Structure formats: structure tokens, C-alpha cells
Amino acid sequence: MTAAEMLHDVRRFRTRTPEAPREQCLAAIAGTLLTIQGARAWGGEYPRPVSVARIFRHPYQVNEVPHLIVVPDEGSRLGPCGHDRNLYEDQFRLAVYGYADGDDVVPPSTWIARLTFDVQRLLRQALDPDGVLAPLAPGLRFLEESIDAEEYRAAFTLRVVVVLRYALGMDL
């Protein structure tokens, strides 16, 4: 089977759970981000375990950092997948928010850069053949990223489009 045939193989995109595909995607990403702990690729580790939530909170509402939030974003689009009448492509937009504090040695801008790097790396790995997004999504795209660093706390917003594919007849 060629790569193009595999991409349009309806069996690959049939759901294995009754949960909505967008919810499966959000849950999988949140679960993956919970694995940010211990020694990191940048050579160190976070001062506390990274917490992950699925409900948005403003930076001043979060006491324990580093903290990540995974929520749907505006602008998702659902439509047919090319000329294939058996598949629908859902360009699902989501946002990952991250908060980190500085300390006496490392400024918050450094911690937030490290946290952003870890999030991006894990989201790319989630698409690997054995990754948590592999059964649902053939791809993702990072959109705009914003960082705001103050004296004691920094925050980032990372907007992402995850391409989900649904088989025809699947209940959305």
C-alpha cells in the first residue's frame, strides 16, 4: 500500500472509542504534557512537577508553576478531505498556555523558553507511529506563539492546528 493509499484508508480513521475525536485529541495532549518531569532535553529539570489543566486560568489565578493549560481555540474548520467522499478533515485549533516563575538564578523568560521547547517537542513526538495522536491525526501545525515575561512570572500561548480525519458516517 502506497503512502497516499494509507493516508486515505478509511479503516485507519475509524474511532475506537465513543468519545468525540476533538476531546480524544485534547485528552491525549494533556496526558502527554503530564510526562514533562525529570531530566529534560535541555540538560536540567524543573524545580517542581509540571501541572496540566484543561480549564483556562489567568496567570494570577495559578499558584503552582510550571503550569500548562490545554483548551480548544477559535477557528477550527471541518470539511471533506480533498475529493475523497469517505473522509472528513477537521482542522482543529487548540491553544496551550504555559506559566513559569523565575528564581534567584534563572529568570522567568528562561523557564518559559524551556517549557515552550518541551511542549513543542512532545507534540511533535505525539505524531510518531507509536505516539498518542497517531491513531487520530496525520499532522499538526504550530501557528503563532506569544511570550510575555515579567520580573517574576512569564507566560506563553502556543496556538496549534491538529489535523483530524473522520471516516464517513462517524457521529460527530
| C-alpha cell belonging to residue 64 | 503552582
Domain, as residue range, for 115: 3-167
How far, in Å, are 17, 61, 76, 157 from residue 98 at the CA level?
A: 29, 13, 21, 7
Count of beta carbons in the 10 Å neighbourhood of residue 147: 15
Q: Is residue 172 part of a domain?
A: no
Digits of tens for pLDDT over the chain (172 positions)? Answer: 444 444 444 444 444 557 889 999 999 999 999 999 998 888 889 999 999 999 999 999 999 999 999 999 999 998 887 776 777 889 999 999 999 999 889 999 999 999 999 999 999 999 999 999 998 899 999 999 999 999 999 999 999 999 998 765 555 4
Number of domains in the chain: 1
Q: Is residue 130 part of a domain?
A: yes
Predicted structure pTM score: 0.85
Q: Is residue 163 part of a domain?
A: yes
Residue 130, domain CATH: 3.30.2000.10
